[in-house]
Amino acid sequence: MSRTYSVEEVSKHTAPTDLLLIIDGKVYDVSDFKEEHPGGEDFLLDQAGKDVTELFEDAGHSPEAREILSTLTVGTIPSDAPSRPIPVHAQEELPDAYLRVCLLLAVVCMVAGLVYLRF
């Protein structure tokens, strides 16, 4: 049965007999498939409970692999939930905005200092 999972909920399913993975917003139960995985079960055990979208794509899986994948679906992650790491550009925006606020504060302090000295 397919249902909605949160990323946090999936992260708790890490046991070899209860092993969930996230790929592209969908949740897969690989408990029974792991022994059959041509890439080895260790790959799947190491990634238990995680979003493996990039690893899955990077391994260059065939259309057959994607077909197997579709038989293992147990649910989905709501599209507004962050199931992947924050994109690099978003991580860069944070210190940048922080720096600008600091710079603005420094300029305001300098102007206030100058005004104070003059009058």
List interacting residues with ligand HEM (CB under 6 A).
21, 28, 30, 37-39, 43-44, 47, 52, 55-56, 59, 61-62, 64-65, 68-69, 72
Q: Based on CB atoms, which residue is closest to ligand HEM, 42 or 92?
A: 42
Q: Based on CB atoms, which residue is closest to ligand HEM, 39 or 78?
A: 39
Q: Which residue is nearest to ligand HEM (CB)?
A: 39
Q: How far is the CB of 52 from ligand HEM (least distance, A)?
A: 4
Q: Based on CB atoms, which residue is closest to ligand HEM, 57 or 92?
A: 57
The first and second tokens of residue 42, run together, are 């260790």
Q: How far is the CB of 83 from ligand HEM (least distance, A)?
A: 14
The closest of 7, 119, 110 to 53, measured between CA atoms, is 7
The closest of 25, 29, 74 to 49, measured between CA atoms, is 29
Tell me the H-state helices in the chain.
7-10, 41-46, 53-58, 63-71, 88-118
DSSP 85: P
Q: Based on CB atoms, which residue is closest to ligand HEM, 16 or 38?
A: 38
Q: How far is the CB of 56 from ligand HEM (least distance, A)?
A: 5
Q: CA of 2: how far to CAs of 18, 42, 53, 79, 92, in Å?
A: 16, 26, 19, 15, 36
